[in-house]
Structure 1
Amino acid sequence: MSNQPNPSISSNQQTILVTGGRGAVARGLTALLHARGVPYRLASREPDSPGTVRCDLTDPSTFPGALAGIRSVFLYAEASGIEGFVKEAVAAGVEHVVLLSSSSVLSPDAAESPLAAAHLAVERALEASPLRTTMLRPGAFAGNARGWAWSLKAGRPVHLPYPGSHCDAIHEADIAEAAFAVLTDPGLGGRAYTLTGPHSLTFATQIAVIGRVLGRPTAFEEVSAEQWKSEVDGYIPGPYADALLDYWAASDGLPAELTDAVEQLTGHPARSFESWVEEHAAEFAPTA
């Protein structure tokens, strides 16, 4: 989707391509661009709204049309087509790419981890290119809590193999605002930012926060890694499930390292996990 600049925006401002158009961060980013009159083009593998162009990051044939006339890109990390995307972006005259990466790339074994390998491969491809690149490396999305919604809606305890595992629970709106900042302020680009929420919370604490916001009891039940893996079989591929279990085991009882990058980029402290739950409380409400 491409919107026209308002009178307060320079007429020569260049259009930004926003990929992953159905994702929460992309939706938040395009809302900010629209509100500020910044021209953009929304792209998705499966366009579901008028004006959205098709850009399947695994299909190089969709790149030329999406990139025509584009000078900046907000890019989701898809490794399988990144070489073709870089080639087409350079040919199209793209000057700046803002990558939605992951803090998992900072792990010593990132190249071997199913959770980090794709992000790392895309980072390396961009770093090897002539494109000016900004890396946004968020930790755990607050929205990951949606994985507990079914149990909580049914009034059942959430099964957790490592209830004491910590994460930094970052609000997707903060990631969108950070992306907006680096896309519209040239002085902020060309570097990497590790984005975190304001607190390190255990899974058990997050479930308690959901209960406080909902005003009703919420509970968890500690289960073995083997039981949890069998319960998610069919939803989470085995290698990813194993990688998650390893990550949770490593962070069990170990607070997440926090940064002030969100405040640095947006001018305000990172939003709390509680604020995210308040905005999404209906998703955890009991079924009728």
Structure 2
Amino acid sequence: MSSVTVRVPAKVNVQLSVGPLREDGYHDLVNVFHAVSVFDEVVAKESESITVSVAGDWADQVPVDDGNLAIQAARALAKHAGRTYGAQLVIHKSIPVAGGMAGGSADAAGALVACNELWGLGLPLEDLMEIAADLGSDVPFSLLGGTAVGTGRGERLSDVPTGGQFHWAFAVAREGLSTAKVYAECDRLRETAGVEVPWPQLSEPLLAALRTGDAEALGGQLGNDLQSAALSLRPDLSDTLEAGRRAGALGALVSGSGPTCAFLATDADHALRLADTLSHLPTCRTALAAHGPVPGPRPS
């Protein structure tokens, strides 16, 4: 096989509850991931070494050196297999970079699936998930797709069956946000407020809304403990959230560490109308309509 192509989806966090800062610098999370139909495409071609190139709307913002998570994923897979392999990775970007939608993690997951197929390793998903967990907290879910609850750093996953499709609009900000800076700001705000940070708890009403496919109920349960920190660093996001609410969104929140803002729509047409409205905001680089859940990456 000379080439393998996979499509890998973005995610939105419909619940992100962040516990106290741990001694290892991480936080315990309750993270309800939801994969949506915004895709990166990862192509793996035969090569003597592992390299990456990037095309698409966000290509100029993606590193092509050792800092690229897809390169790290391919190397980790080769090390796991105990042999020297090569792959020319070509990433076609549609998922925003530094946007809170796990674009880098998606590319890593895509590289794992594509190289596993290209190299004929035949490793099961369970093995790929173990490698993914060492690469980053969001990479295991990017492999899994669908809807799932993540605990620990977010890497321990439990599948959540959903009762139907949900429709979304995403307002992509003109500049990205560093995940590390958002978490640091969250810790700073909590320390300044002097409040005791509770242990994160899963929202049972949110799970029930997902399982029954009740978009209106889900809209009322969306939550993100990092949102205050993202708004502190980027106050203009408040205007974006308010604009989506005025346009009839059932719920609105910052996706993950931001700055992308997610809006739950009543149906596919409403998602398109929301995206059109949001695309005209001065704070918005572009807006996307999507649906979820969608499956994780598979070779084609």
Q: TM-score, normalised by structure 2?
A: 0.27
Structure with more relative contact order (C-alpha pairs < 8 Å, separation 6 or more): 2
Higher helix share: 1
**Who wins on radius of gyration, i.e. which is larger?**
1
Q: TM-score, normalised by structure 1?
A: 0.28
Higher strand share: 2
